Every structure is written in C-alpha cells, then in structure tokens.
C-alpha cells in the first residue's frame, strides 16, 4: 500500500510540475493551451466554410468537437519521441520506471484537453446544439484514448532511443493521419470502399464518438467503440512489451 501511495504521489507531482513548467514565464500562461486549438479552428473554418464550403451546419462547433480530442492525441505523440532521451537523468535513476514519463505526458496534455472543454461547451450552446446525457460516456472515451496514447507513446519513445528518425517520421505520420481522421469533414462523406480504413483506425472511431456525444448529443456507436477499445488495449500491450523488452538497452543508451 505504501508503494502504491508513493507511485501515485510521484505521478501527481510530476504531472503538476510538467503542467506548471510548460507555461512558466509566459505572459498568457495557461491561455496558450487555448490559443493553438482556436487558431487551428479559425484556419479550418475559413478554408472549409468560406474558400471551399462543405455545407455543414454549425461548422465551427462541428470542427471544434473533433479538433479538441485530436489535439490531445497529436500533441502527446508528437512529443513522445524525446521523452526518454531528454530525461536521461530520471531514466537512469534507480527505482524509477521510465514509463512514468509517458503517463505524465499523457495526463498533462489531458489536462489541456479538459481546460478547453468549457470553451467547447459554450460554443455548442451558442450554435444551439443540445447538451444531453450522452456526455456521461465522456469518461469512457477519455479512458480509451488515454490507453491508446500510452501504448503508441511507449512504442515511439522506446524506438526513438535507438533510431532518432522516429520522431521526424511521426511528424509526417501525424500530418497524414489528420487527413485520414474525420476532424474537419463528415465520416458519411467518405466513399464506402474506403470506410474500412476509418473503422480500423481507433483514433478515427474515437473522434466520431466525441462528435456524436458533443455535437449531435447522441451516445457513441457502441460496436465501433468496443472495437476501438480492444485495439487500444492491444496497442498498449504491444507498447509495454516493446518497452519492457528493451528497457535495459534504453537505460544504457540514453
């Protein structure tokens, strides 16, 4: 029990420090966590409501309901490559599990996600979108996404210790994945011959589920979410296997 309390306390303090240090010394502070998603929102709204109209009702709210969870996902994966390399002091510390850094990164960025949620709710209300009991499924979506992020981050951070190209490849992959995820367009607009790609993409399923809950006020499609949950657990298991398999080499290399 004392060991469990120690690990929870350590995790709490590391997440708190990471969150504080991230905005320390900046004029806007935590407001920067709102600036990036809002800036991206403005660009997408301008492009797909003015330049190339997609004719989607309440388009700003439509986009923002998917962009907020996508930002949590992409920020975590984009920063995961350097987690073990840039924290070699902690990685080499006795009795410290390097995987803690991945969990801290996931939770710290999750708090950014939570900070933006009130803005999303206000936007939904302004566009006359109903706030329903479907929001009760939000903790489940967050849990599944957190598991997926931890699994992928374990793979990326571990392999990047040996192959530093991984962090650069991830930048390209995230850009491509953004277009293969229905953030700024409707899933229904995708040709049926390509929908299998979205069905087998757990983050695409999660994005659709968030949009169903926030924008449409409906519960997520449980069968697709169940599949995404299973895939997320499998990815997390694979990630932990790779991390555990190469842990000693990681400590020696960094």
Mean pLDDT over residues 208-234, rounded?
A: 96
The confidence band for 122, taking pLDDT boundaries of 50, 70 and 90, is very high
Rg of the chain taking only CA atoms, in angstroms: 19
pLDDT class for 142, splitting at 50, 70, 90? very high
pLDDT band, residue 18 (cuts 50/70/90) = confident
pLDDT(82) > 80: yes
The structure's pTM equals: 0.92
Rounded to an integer, what distance in angstroms lies between the CA atom of residue 195 and that of residue 113?
Answer: 28
Q: Residue 13: pLDDT band by 50, 70, 90 thresholds?
A: confident
pLDDT exceeds cutoff 90 at 178:
yes
Closest CA to 205 of 141, 153, 124: 141
Mean local confidence (pLDDT), 205-220: 96
pLDDT by residue (tens digit) across 20-66? Answer: 777 666 656 666 777 788 888 899 999 888 888 888 999 999 999 99
Percent of the chain at pLDDT > 70 equals 94
Q: Would you state the structure tokens that stand for residue 92, as one six-digit string?
A: 């080499």
The set of residues, in sequence order, having a beta carbon less than 8 Å from that of 90 and lying 6+ positions away, is 96, 98, 101
Task: Give the DSSP H/E element, type plus range, for residue 5.
Answer: helix 2-23
What are the tokens at 9? Answer: 């306390």
Residue 172 has pLDDT above 90, yes or no: yes
Separation of alpha carbons 229 and 141, rounded Å: 9
| Residue 179 predicted with pLDDT over 60 | yes
Q: What angle do CA 231, 236, 239 make, to 5 degrees?
A: 125
Residue 23's pLDDT is what? 66
Give yes or no for residue 1 having a pLDDT over 60. no
Give the model's confidence band at 162: pLDDT under 50 very low, under 70 low, under 90 confident, else very high: very high
Percent with pLDDT over 90 in the chain: 62
pLDDT of residue 29: 62
pLDDT at 146: 97
């Amino acid at each position: 029990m004392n060991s469990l309390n120690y690990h929870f306390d350590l995790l709490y303090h590391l997440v708190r420090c990471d969150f504080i240090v991230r905005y320390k010394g900046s004029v806007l502070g935590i407001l920067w966590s709102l600036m990036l998603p809002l800036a991206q929102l403005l660009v997408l709204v301008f492009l797909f409501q003015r330049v190339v109209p997609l004719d989607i009702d309440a388009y700003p709210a439509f986009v923002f309901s998917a962009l907020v969870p996508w930002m949590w996902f992409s920020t975590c994966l984009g920063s995961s490559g350097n987690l073990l390399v840039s924290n070699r002091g902690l990685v080499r510390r006795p009795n410290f599990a390097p995987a803690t850094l991945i969990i801290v990164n996931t939770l710290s960025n999750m708090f950014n996600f939570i900070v933006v949620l009130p803005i999303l709710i206000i936007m939904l209300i302004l566009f006359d979108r109903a706030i329903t009991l479907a929001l009760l499924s939000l903790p489940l979506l967050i849990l599944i996404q957190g598991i997926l992020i931890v699994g992928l981050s374990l793979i990326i951070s571990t392999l990047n210790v040996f192959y530093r190209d991984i962090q650069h490849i991830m930048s390209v992959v995230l850009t491509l994945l953004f277009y293969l995820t229905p953030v700024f367009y409707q899933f229904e607009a995708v040709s049926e011959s390509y929908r299998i790609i979205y069905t087998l993409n757990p983050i695409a399923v999660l994005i659709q589920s968030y949009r169903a809950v926030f924008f449409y006020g409906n519960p997520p499609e449980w069968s697709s979410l169940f599949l995404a949950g299973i895939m997320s657990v499998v990815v997390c298991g694979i990630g932990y296997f790779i991390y555990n398999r190469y842990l000693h080499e990681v400590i020696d290399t960094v």
